[in-house]
């Protein structure tokens, strides 16, 4: 049995439509008939530069996946054929079975959940990567290692803690704000456009600093907010050049800068300046998130259903409209405001 997929056959070249063998789920896996897959910045970096999959071509993009369970691997529990599910694909897989820009995809059961009643496939497909990335940043030992808000009985008070989120208007930034609020972090400061101020404060930001201000004004405002001891935790969701974020960290105590783009230059900068700063590249994968993955997916549907995490904005593409899909990926590369696209593999072009 084969199915149709959008294939990256050559890095930096237009994608093509072609057949792929439909896999059989192994123990702990689901085979899903993909209904929706959201394309994100790392998909653009994959198409243009081979991020995650490198020379393992042809490959398939799409890590945010929702669909209908077609079959189950042996001893795969908690799911049934016909369930509406959403889950996190795996762009680092040796083969592209765990990717969404195709008619059928595999999902790991531990990185999947049933879609809450009242939510669509499209809405469910907006959550996985951005939520998992920010869960790793906030709660993993390699991130800030805050107390994860899985259950009220688990929570440790974080109300005396402060965090700066750079790029709060991005989707991953918005989810990090909501998760920080869920964890009870006292001061949630974000640098973002003031056009988003009302929304970001509604999501949980306690302070919004205008990203259009000068660097000196931004630094002054942040110092006024956090006090003389300064910041020791910054989560940068958008920057490629990390020298300014590093300059915002306190010189009075060790600091941590979490980044979503390759961190070699930032690490070199810190070393050259002799700063007591740890730089960590955060990856939105199940492997990075371990050992938290299972508990995150147990709690995520409830957080969505209770309104603790909001659905991100998106627009849809029907079928494998290659021109529209390429344009959606290009929008991340062009540096313009982006509304992410959700592709319907079974839609009519």
CATH at residue 212: 3.40.50.720
Question: What per-residue confidence (pLDDT) applies to 293?
Answer: 95
Q: What is the band of 261 on the pLDDT scale with cuts at 50, 70, 90?
A: confident
Average pLDDT score over the chain: 94
Whether pLDDT at 245 is above 90 = yes
pLDDT of residue 152: 65
Residue 305 included in any domain:
no
Tell me the average pLDDT across 276-282. Answer: 95
pLDDT at site 189:
98
**Same domain, yes or no: 23 and 114:** yes
Which has more confidence, 85 or 261?
85
Residue 41 and residue 141 in one domain: no
Q: Is the pLDDT of residue 157 over 80?
A: no
Which pLDDT does position 230 carry in this prediction?
87
Q: How confident is the model at residue 163 (pLDDT cuts 50, 70, 90)?
A: very high
Residues 138 and 212 in one domain: yes
On whether both 161 and 114 belong to a single domain, the answer is no
Interacting residues of 196 by C-beta distance below 8 A, sequence separation 6+: 168, 169, 208
For residue 155, how many other CB atoms are within 10 A of its CB? 15
Q: Which residue has the tokens 């990185």?
A: 111
pLDDT(155) > 90? no
Taking the mean position of all CA atoms in its chain, how far away is CA 51? Answer: 15
302-328 residue pLDDT tens: 999 999 999 999 999 999 999 999 999
Question: Residue 303: inside a domain, yes or no?
Answer: no
* Alpha helices (runs of H) in the chain, residue ranges in sequence order: 41-49, 121-124, 128-139, 171-182, 197-203, 215-226, 243-247, 264-273, 286-289, 293-305, 322-333
157-169: average pLDDT: 92
Q: Dig out the tokens for 7 from the structure.
A: 């294939």
Residue linked to tokens 């062009």: 334
**Same structural domain for residues 110 and 14?**
yes
**CA 194/CA 212 separation, integer angstroms:** 9
**pLDDT score, position 35:** 99
Instruction: Report whether pLDDT(151) > 80.
Output: no
Contact between 325 and 349 under an 8 Å Cβ cutoff? The reply is no
Distance CA 130, CA 128 (A): 6
pLDDT at 156: 72
Domain total in the chain = 2
The domain that holds 57 is classified in CATH as 3.90.180.10
DSSP 59: B
Report the percentage of the chain scoring pLDDT > 90. Answer: 87
Alpha carbons 102 and 62: distance in angstroms, whole number: 9
Return all residues near 296 (Cβ < 8 A) that are at least 6 apart. 131, 132, 135, 150, 289
Verify that 236 and 144 share a domain, yes or no: yes
| 110-139 per-position pLDDT tens digit | 999 999 999 999 999 999 999 999 999 999
Q: 48 and 143, same structural domain? A: no
Q: Is residue 220 part of a domain?
A: yes
Q: CA 64: distance to chain centroid?
A: 9
Q: 139 with 268, same domain?
A: yes
pLDDT at 63 over 80: yes
Number of C-beta neighbours around residue 269 at 10 A: 18
Domain with 84 in it: 2-127+311-344
With 90 as the cut, is the pLDDT of residue 273 above it? no
| Last-in-domain residue among 233, 264, 281 | 281
pLDDT at 154: 64
pLDDT in tens, 328-338: 999 998 767 78
């Amino acid at each position: 049995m084969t199915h149709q997929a959008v294939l990256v056959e050559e890095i930096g070249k237009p994608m093509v439509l072609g057949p792929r063998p439909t896999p059989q789920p192994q123990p702990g896996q689901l085979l899903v008939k993909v209904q929706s897959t959201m394309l994100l910045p790392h998909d653009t970096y994959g198409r243009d530069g081979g991020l995650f999959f490198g020379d393992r071509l042809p490959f398939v993009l799409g890590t945010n996946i929702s669909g209908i369970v077609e079959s189950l691997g042996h001893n795969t529990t908690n799911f049934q054929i016909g369930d509406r599910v959403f889950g996190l694909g795996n762009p680092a897989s040796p083969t592209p079975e765990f990717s969404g820009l195709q008619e059928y995809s595999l999902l790991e059961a531990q990185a999947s959940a049933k879609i809450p009643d009242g939510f669509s496939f499209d809405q469910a497909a907006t959550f996985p990567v951005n939520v998992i990335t920010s869960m790793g940043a906030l709660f993993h030992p390699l991130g800030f290692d805050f107390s994860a808000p899985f259950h009220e009985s688990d929570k440790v008070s974080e109300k005396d803690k402060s965090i700066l989120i750079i790029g709060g208007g991005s989707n991953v930034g918005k989810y990090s704000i909501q998760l920080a609020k869920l964890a009870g972090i006292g001061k949630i400061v974000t640098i973002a456009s003031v056009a988003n101020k009302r929304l970001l404060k509604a999501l949980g930001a306690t302070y919004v600093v205008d990203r259009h201000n000068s660097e000196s004004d931004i630094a002054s405002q942040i110092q006024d907010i956090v006090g003389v001891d300064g910041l020791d935790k910054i989560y940068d969701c958008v920057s490629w050049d990390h020298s300014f974020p590093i300059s915002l960290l306190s010189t009075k105590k060790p600091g941590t800068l979490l980044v979503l783009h390759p961190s070699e230059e930032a690490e070199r900068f810190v070393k050259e300046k002799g700063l007591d700063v740890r730089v960590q590249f955060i990856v939105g994968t199940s492997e990075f998130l371990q050992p938290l993955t299972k508990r995150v997916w147990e709690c995520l549907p409830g957080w969505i259903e209770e309104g603790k995490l909001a659905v991100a904005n998106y627009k849809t593409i029907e079928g494998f409209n290659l021109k529209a899909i390429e344009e959606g990926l290009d929008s991340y590369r062009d540096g313009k405001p982006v509304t992410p696209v959700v592709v319907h593999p079974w839609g009519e072009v």
